């Protein structure tokens, strides 16, 4: 985890930057994008990630590396993969995954050479996975499938069934849409192409907004009694959003039953998961910055990961996301409110508690209110503030950033995650504030992360609000969060 002392001594990062998260994972400086090679190895959680050691911008992609025993405190380790001159990854080590090949940790990643983006393999034999040897026969798949006219081809998800390895590679078929191509191998080195497991339709806008021209970072895994396919939609050179499908994987083809955007907070992309030794399927996503390139360069860092989210299949077959209980260890000073009635049109300021690193557990009965929730990061005069609420008219959970920042270049919008509560249903909003990161969980099912960049040092307040009709706060717990030691 970021240690503020290290941070202050790192000349690359502006120590006065008020937006740098304290307990979400990020490198000591420079650029991060996708989480890569997530693996629970010999009792340690390993996070690798797309990393540019040369600055806080996307370029010369390496694999950064950090390790944690408890999912809270991260120890930064040396770069795991760097481009090798005159080799298949000379222009970048793009995203990929890690597997346990009979006790040998093995990475499958995309090597970039000029226009070529092809699968490469590296192995490690040290316990902490610090040193990696690239396979001399890279790339292990020298060509894309001959019968497909592809938009792009990269990123890997690998698993073993019986004695055979299977791999998905992200791709897009020209004029058709995104897809994930299935391969199999006896040894991770020799691969046979099978077929696409699912193909999107780039012209369709329902039930997902668009499934784009190409699917980046596909991942497939069994969960409870279902299968989950995660994709990140790339369209016309833009990173659009990440989605999941839950459904049936038989006959080596995937049939979706449910699908939805994974996190509609406007920043989340390219998630990856691991299975830990408690059998938990944990997911991390990349939270992109939403401030100007100039501001990112001035701060010396860009990009942060979500907290690990525990995935489950909900009773109706959709995918659930919940925070892990480990986070409770970060709780500091506690304040509790019970049985507060918020009259319609009223805003109740909570002067006892303030902050930009808080955990808030809000049990809310919206009743007939058209909107009920909590303003966070409020300046005393209300010129800066961000609303997290259930909004009946919008039809879901909202994060309203219209007034999050007086900085005109910051995003000013309202993010919505569709959600239909049952009649009289109470809602649980679990909110994590970490400076520029807001991560919200609704009923341990839905998640939404957004970035905010308030300009005022006093934009720290909390304020409950109801619109249209009164709402009841059954309880609200607020904890300050302490950086992991």
Considering beta carbons, is residue 110 or 459 the nearer one to ligand FRU?
Answer: 110
Site mask, ligand FRU, residues 83-122, x = CB under 6 A?
-----------xx--------------x------------
User: What secondary structure letter does DSSP report for 46?
Assistant: E
Does residue 386 bind ligand FRU (CB under 6 A)?
A: no
Binding of residue 400 to ligand FRU (CB under 6 A): no
Query: How many Å apart are CA 285 and CA 276, to the nearest integer?
Result: 17
Give the DSSP H or E segment for 9.
helix 4-9
Burial class (CB in 10 A: 0-12, 13-18, 19+), 9: exposed
Residue 59 CB, shortest distance to ligand FRU, in Å, is 9
Nearer to ligand FRU, 91 or 359 (CB): 91
**Binding flag, residue 270, ligand FRU (CB under 6 A):** yes
> Taking the complex as a whole, how short is the minimal distance between the CB of residue 150 and ligand FRU, in angstroms?
13
Beta bridge mates, 96: 109
What would the two tokens of residue 77 be? 């380790």
Minimum distance from residue 238 beta carbon to ligand FRU (Å): 11
Active-site residue, 34 included: yes
Nearest Cα to 217, choosing from 165, 145, 158? 158
Output the CA–CA distances (angstroms, integers) from residue 433 to 21, 74, 437, 438, 483, in the order listed: 9, 19, 6, 5, 12
Pick the binder of ligand FRU from 50, 167, 210, 417 (CB under 6 A): 50
Least Cβ distance, residue 210 to ligand FRU (angstroms): 17
132-191: contacts with ligand FRU (CB under 6 A): 154-155
DSSP annotation of 402:
T
Of all residues in the chain, what percent are helix, strand and coil, respectively (each to 5)?
5, 55, 40
CA-wise closest residue to 330 among 154, 229, 481:
481
Question: What are the φ and ψ backbone dihedral angles of 10, each rounded to 5 degrees?
Answer: -90, 110
Within 401-430, which residues bind ligand FRU (CB under 6 A)? none
Of 51-80, binders to ligand FRU (CB under 6 A) are 61
CB 376 within 8 A of CB 382: no
The active-site residue out of 34, 263, 276, 434 is: 34
Give the integer Cα–Cα distance in Å for 285 and 288.
9
Question: C-beta of 15: minimal distance to ligand FRU in Å?
Answer: 27
Considering only 72, 217, 307, 364, the residue that binds ligand FRU (CB under 6 A) is 217
Q: Which residues bind ligand FRU (CB under 6 A)?
A: 33-34, 50, 61, 94-95, 110, 154-155, 216-217, 239, 269-270
Catalytic sites, residue numbers:
34
């Amino acid at each position: 985890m970021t240690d503020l002392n290290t941070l202050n001594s790192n000349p690359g990062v502006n120590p006065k930057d008020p937006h740098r998260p304290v307990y979400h994972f990020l490198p000591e400086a420079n650029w991060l994008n996708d989480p890569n090679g997530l693996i629970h190895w010999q009792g340690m959680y390993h996070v690798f990630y797309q990393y540019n050691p040369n600055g806080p911008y996307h370029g010369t992609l390496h694999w950064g590396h950090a390790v944690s025993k408890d999912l809270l405190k991260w120890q930064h380790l040396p770069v795991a993969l760097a481009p090798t001159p005159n080799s298949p990854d000379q222009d970048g080590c793009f995203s990929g995954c890690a597997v346990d090949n009979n006790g040998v940790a093995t990475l499958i990643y995309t090597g970039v050479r000029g226009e070529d983006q092809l699968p490469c393999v590296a192995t490690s034999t040290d316990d902490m996975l610090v040193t990696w040897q690239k396979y001399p026969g890279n790339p292990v798949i020298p060509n894309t499938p001959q019968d497909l006219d592809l938009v792009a081809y990269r990123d890997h998800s690998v698993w073993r069934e019986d004695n055979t390895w299977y791999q998905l590679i992200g791709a897009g078929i020209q004029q058709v849409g995104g897809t994930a191509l299935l391969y199999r191998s006896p040894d991770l080195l020799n691969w046979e192409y099978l077929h696409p497991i699912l193909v999107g339709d780039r012209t369709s806008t329902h039930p997902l907004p668009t499934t784009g021209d190409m699917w980046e970072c596909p991942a497939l895994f069994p969960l409870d009694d279902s299968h989950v396919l995660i994709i990140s939609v790339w369209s016309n050179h833009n990173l659009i959003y990440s989605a999941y499908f839950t459904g049936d994987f038989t006959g080596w083809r995937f049939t979706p039953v449910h699908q939805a955007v994974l996190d509609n907070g406007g920043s989340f992309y390219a998630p990856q998961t691991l299975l830990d030794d408690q059998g938990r399927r944990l997911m991390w996503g990349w939270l992109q910055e939403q401030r100007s390139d100039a501001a990112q360069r001035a701060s010396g860092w860009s990009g942060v990961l979500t907290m690990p989210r525990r995935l489950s299949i909900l009773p109706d077959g959709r995918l659930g996301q919940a925070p892990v209980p480990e986070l409770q260890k970060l709780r500091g000073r506690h304040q509790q409110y019970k049985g507060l009635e918020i009259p319609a049109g009223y805003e109740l300021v909570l002067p006892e508690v303030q902050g930009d690193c808080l955990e808030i557990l809000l049990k809310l009965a919206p009743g007939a209110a058209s909107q009920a929730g909590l303003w966070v990061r409020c300046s005393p005069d209300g010129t800066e503030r961000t609303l997290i609420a259930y909004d009946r008219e919008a039809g879901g959970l909202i994060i309203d950033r219209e007034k999050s920042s007086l900085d005109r270049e910051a995003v000013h919008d309202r993010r919505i995650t569709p959600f239909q509560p049952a009649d009289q249903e109470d809602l649980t909003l679990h909110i994590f504030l970490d400076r520029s990161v807001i991560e919200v969980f609704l009923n341990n099912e839905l998640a939404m992360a957004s970035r905010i960049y308030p300009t005022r040092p006093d934009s720290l307040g909390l304020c409950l609000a109801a619109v249209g009709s009164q709402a009841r706060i059954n309880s609200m717990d607020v904890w300050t969060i302490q950086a992991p030691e």
